[in-house]
Copies of this chain bind each other. A is one copy, B any other.
């Protein structure tokens, strides 16, 4: 391994990873020592492949039980990686990862790329199984709602979320941030297939449990027969207690993280 070790020089590596959040305590390690985080498992695999201590950065944290299809991460290594050698880093990493975590693509990233700080916006998806009986196979991957849902109601309330708003009412306690204004670019409800509803939301950032609180609140308004426009009052109240409970974690997926085109262009695929 000595020949590919360059003292002082660091290579930055960017990669996308999918994970089944079931059974993990979330992306980041929690206080309880008996729970395993996704980041901890990936760092372990990276340290086996690179034979050095690795610190992993992600676009953001996901809660316990939340899934990702394309979480974006970066780390720096002293090892030299030659893209021309077509070394399959993903393959090497996946060999050390459990089947519930899959590294999909990797790049050499420019020095100024940072998975957390460079991210400009993110897309999340929420899945709901809407039928009289639950599913034995979807219970880890969607929320089950027994009573028929009126999708037009959800569509109407979601349209009110578009644009710049102070989403303080939709921020769960935990790590409160000072600036709770976020911009939502897209918020769509549609039938993915019969009995499966999907909510897709894109924004420049999301507060703690914001997507789950939006879904939980929208479903609460629909179920209680309240007007979709009621969500405007809830936003304006800037009071967490006005909104509904968070929808369960297992329905949520981090779908995509966006970075400036200029940074993407300077990444070299491995």
Q: Which chain B residues border A67 with CB–CB below 8 Å? A: 136-137
Q: Which chain B residues border A135 with CB–CB below 8 Å? A: 18, 102
- Asked if A100 is at the interface of the complex by the 8 Å CB criterion, the answer is yes
Q: How many of chain A's residues touch chain B, expressed as a range?
A: 10 to 19
Task: Give the number of times this chain occurs in the complex, counting copies.
Answer: 2
Query: How far is it, in angstroms, between the C-alpha of A102 and the C-alpha of B136 when the chains are bound?
Result: 6
Q: Which chain B residues border A141 with CB–CB below 8 Å? A: 137
Q: Which residue of B lies closest to A137 (CB)?
A: B20
Q: Which chain B residues border A211 with CB–CB below 8 Å? A: none
**Which residues 57-91 in A have Cβ within 8 Å of B in the complex?**
67, 90
A-B contact pairs, 24 of them (CB 8 A): A18-B135, A18-B136, A18-B137, A19-B136, A20-B136, A20-B137, A20-B139, A67-B136, A67-B137, A90-B133, A94-B133, A94-B134, A99-B134, A99-B136, A99-B139, A100-B136, A100-B139, A101-B136, A102-B133, A102-B134, A102-B135, A102-B136, A104-B133, A137-B141
Q: Which residue of B lies closest to A99 (CB)?
A: B139
Query: How far is it, in angstroms, between the C-alpha of A74 and the C-alpha of B139 when the chains are bound?
Result: 25
Q: Which residue of B lies closest to A134 (CB)?
A: B102
Chain B CB count within 10 A is highest, among A19, A90, A134, A141, for A134
Query: How far is it, in angstroms, between the C-alpha of A90 and the C-alpha of B18 when the chains are bound?
Result: 35
Q: Which chain B residues border A133 with CB–CB below 8 Å? A: 90, 94, 102, 104
Q: Which chain B residues border A136 with CB–CB below 8 Å? A: 18-20, 67, 99-102
Q: Which residue of B lies closest to A90 (CB)?
A: B133
Query: How far is it, in angstroms, between the C-alpha of A134 and the C-alpha of B90 when the chains are bound?
Result: 11
Q: Which residue of B lies closest to A141 (CB)?
A: B137
Q: Which chain B residues border A90 with CB–CB below 8 Å? A: 133
CB distance from A45 to the nearest CB of B (A): 14
Query: How far is it, in angstroms, between the C-alpha of A135 and the C-alpha of B17 when the chains are bound?
Result: 10
Q: Per-residue 0/1 for A86-116: is the Cβ within 8 Å of any B Cβ (1 yes, 0 no)?
A: 0000100010000111101000000000000
Q: Which A-B residue pairs are the 8 nearest by beta carbons?
A: A99-B139, A18-B136, A102-B136, A20-B136, A19-B136, A20-B137, A102-B134, A100-B136
Q: Which chain B residues border A134 with CB–CB below 8 Å? A: 94, 99, 102
CB distance from A26 to the nearest CB of B (A): 15
Q: Per-residue 0/1 for A259-270: is the Cβ within 8 Å of any B Cβ (1 yes, 0 no)?
A: 000000000000
Q: Which residue of B lies closest to A250 (CB)?
A: B99
